[in-house]
Amino acid sequence: MGSLDGKTALVFGVANDHSISWGIAQALAREGAKLGFSYAGPNLEKRVRPLAESLGATFVEQCDVGSDAEVAQVFARAKEAFGTFDILVHGIAFASREDLAGRFVDTSREGFLLAHNISVYSLVALTRAALPLFPAGGGAVLTLTYYGAEKVVPKYNVMGVAKASLEATMRYLASDLGPQGVRVNAVSAGPIRTLAASGISGFRDYQRSFAGAAPLRRNVTIEDVGNAAAFLCSDAARAITGEVVYVDSGYNIMGMQTAEES
Ligand code: NAD
Ligand code: 0WE
């Protein structure tokens, strides 16, 4: 028996089989959930549809979260396909590449607003649109954050500020929706080599120093994140809301980086 038998999940943020949202989708499916997927734009359908089908999912719909019309449409289609659903996974972030290099102080107004629109406001928009489709007993919303929300990580820049806002947004949503039984949580994942990490110069060195400094002395995988996500979206986590759960080999607890490698 799976911990998510009888539940349905709508997953946003799969771009390919390296995506953290794909690790989450696989874990949710393993625990018995029925799945639906949404992808950002036309060129991603050919990647996402085969992945979805490999988990028995037929609901695969485009939604650029920068568009109110596309957000409304994907939830209208979800209502037709599922009636109600139980779990919303938000695995979306975007900033202009030029803002993930150099100094934060040079962030433009446009770059600041883009990062916050796609990476943060989208959680509000998707959660609000999901509310009428959650069953009477409640639902679960999960988003993905990163340590750069709390401490300065060189070059993470405007995304760090957006993740701080995302974490606060997650808590305000949890407060609003708790009375309806809707839980809202975040997983803070260690660095994983996904599409969003590719092309970040020095990412490999960064992962190596992370693994050297973290108590568990290893990097994390999308399977690790998937397992924590499946727990947070299940009834086993029924009293947990508004939390940031770290899936980071313990990196965040350290106050000084001693061991480099071991
Ligand atoms: P990814 O590139 O696989 O996923 C990011 C997703 O965002 C993609 O599917 C992309 O299509 C989607 N997206 C971007 N703009 C969009 C838009 N306008 N509309 C709809 N979707 C849009 O990379 P990932 O690393 O799996 O990122 C998923 C989440 O995990 C992000 O929130 C990221 O910040 C977070 N995260 C990543 C890491 C890491 O090291 N990779 C660590 C911690 C947290
Ligand atoms: O949240 C992220 C990455 C998010 C991201 C990545 C890109 C690259 C391509 C958002 N927007 C874009 N835009 C693009 O054009 N992570 C947690 C991964 C990440 O990114 C970093 C990191 C880490 C870790 C950037 C600098 C330093 C560390």
- Could you tell me the domains of the chain? 8-253 (3.40.50.720)
Spatial separation of the C-alpha atoms in residues 217 and 190, rounded to whole Å: 12
What pLDDT score does 216 carry? 98
Length of the chain: 262
Mean pLDDT throughout 100-125? 98
Look at residue 260 and tell me whether its pLDDT is greater than 60.
no
Buried b / exposed e along 113-131 (16+ C-beta atoms within 10 A)? ebbbebbbbbbebbbebbb
Measured in Å, residue 92 CA sits from the centre of ligand 1 at 4
What are the tokens at 194? Answer: 């996904």
Look at residue 122 and tell me whether its pLDDT is greater than 60.
yes
Residue of the nearest CA to atom 27 in ligand 2? 156
Residue of the nearest CA to atom 22 in ligand 2? 156
Ligand 1: residues with CB < 6 A are 13-15, 19-21, 40, 44, 64-66, 91-94, 118, 144-146, 189, 191-192, 194-197
Spatial separation of the C-alpha atoms in residues 197 and 239, rounded to whole Å: 33
For ligand 2, mutation pick of 157, 188, 200 (most atoms within 8 Å of CB): 200
Active site residue 39: no
Please report the beta strands in the chain, taking only residues with DSSP state E, as ranges in sequence order: 8-12, 34-39, 59-62, 87-90, 139-145, 182-189, 244-247
Please write the tens of the pLDDT for every residue from 168-180.
Answer: 999 999 999 999 9
Catalytic residue chosen out of the listed positions 39, 146, 246, 251: 146
* 93 touches ligand 2 (CB under 6 Å): yes
Mean pLDDT throughout 155-159? 97
Query: At CB < 8 A and 24+ separation, what contacts does 72-75 make?
Result: 72/129, 74/38, 74/129, 75/129, 75/130, 75/133
Spatial separation of the C-alpha atoms in residues 256 and 258, rounded to whole Å: 6
What pLDDT score does 212 carry? 97
Please write the tens of the pLDDT for every residue from 63-102.
Answer: 999 999 999 999 999 999 999 999 999 999 999 999 999 9
Mean pLDDT throughout 244-259? 94
What are the tokens at 85? Answer: 């659903």
Instruction: Tell me the backbone φ, ψ of residue 151, rounded to 5 degrees.
Output: -125, 155
Q: How far is CA 9 from the centre of its chain?
A: 13
